[in-house]
């Protein structure tokens, strides 16, 4: 029996034109989560739970992290599993993704967040490098799992991280470390130009690293 992660599945599928959805049950930090994934072409990679998201959830559990009273934002929320757990751990969390993904996030939030704390959850559209200035700059935590995979988006992501953070913000980024998707260059060459970063957890067999990132002070390079 798995203590860190318990996952059960039920699925429904239709024709090729229909969406294929999968419901999965997880347990983290004493909280039971039921998350729906959508494998239809409309959602592409955003409809799926990827391993780095589960690694980040397990890290919160291992470290017994509490986000009580903390202002947080998640980038590329996808199914919302990481942001939902952060809410259940006390955070006031804005879950963000592209507009077409928001209904999936809203569905999973409604299914997993009790009405007594639903005010801690907000779902908003955020396109990196485009409308990040509509968001504040005083987040305590920024979360991102498996969002580093397309080099075309890297500079927009950096701009968004710069805007959303200050020197006191802690950024957790969890990624599959593959050269083919540019992740190694992102963390070893691009991030150090603007942020301090350190690896705080690794899953070598899956080539997954969790980074703790903080913004450099003015004039620090």
pLDDT digits (tens, 9 = 90+) for 168-185: 999 999 999 999 999 999
Residue 55: inside a domain = yes
Burial class of 45 by CB neighbour count within 10 A (0 to 12, 13 to 18, 19+): exposed
Q: Which domain holds residue 73?
A: 49-215
Cα dist from 2 to 22, 27, 122, 162, whole Å = 20, 10, 31, 38
Residue 190: inside a domain = yes
Residue 17: inside a domain = no
Domain count, the chain: 1
pTM across the whole model? 0.90
pLDDT value at 5 more than 80: no
Confidence at residue 42, expressed as pLDDT on a 0 to 100 scale: 63
What are the backbone angles phi and psi of residue 216, rounded to the nearest 5°?
-70, 150
| CA atoms within 13 A of residue 195's CA, in its CB half-sphere | 29
Residue 95: inside a domain = yes
Residue 133: inside a domain = yes
Residue 195: inside a domain = yes
Residue 29: inside a domain = no
Residue 188: inside a domain = yes
Q: Domain holding 185: CATH number?
A: 3.40.50.150
């Amino acid at each position: 029996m798995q203590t860190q992660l318990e996952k059960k599945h039920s699925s429904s599928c239709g024709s090729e034109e229909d969406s294929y959805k999968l419901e999965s049950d997880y347990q983290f930090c004493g909280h039971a989560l039921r998350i729906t994934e959508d494998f239809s072409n409309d959602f592409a990679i955003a409809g799926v739970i990827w391993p780095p998201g589960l690694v980040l959830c397990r890290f919160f559990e291992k470290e017994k992290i509490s986000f009580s009273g903390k202002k947080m934002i998640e980038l590329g929320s996808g199914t919302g599993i990481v942001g939902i757990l952060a809410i259940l751990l006390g955070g006031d969390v804005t879950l963000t993704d592209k507009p077409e993904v928001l209904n999936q996030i809203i569905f999973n939030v409604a299914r997993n967040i009790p009405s007594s704390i639903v005010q801690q959850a907000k779902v908003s559209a955020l396109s990196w490098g485009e409308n990040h200035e509509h968001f504040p700059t005083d987040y305590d935590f920024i979360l991102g799992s498996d969002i580093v995979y397309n080099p075309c988006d890297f500079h927009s992501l950096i701009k968004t991280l710069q805007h959303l953070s200050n020197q006191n913000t802690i950024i957790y980024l969890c990624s599959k470390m593959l050269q083919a998707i540019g992740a190694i260059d992102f963390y070893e060459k691009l991030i150090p130009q603007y942020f301090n970063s350190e690896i705080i957890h690794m899953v070598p067999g899956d080539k997954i690293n969790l980074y703790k990132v903080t913004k450099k002070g003015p004039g620090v390079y």
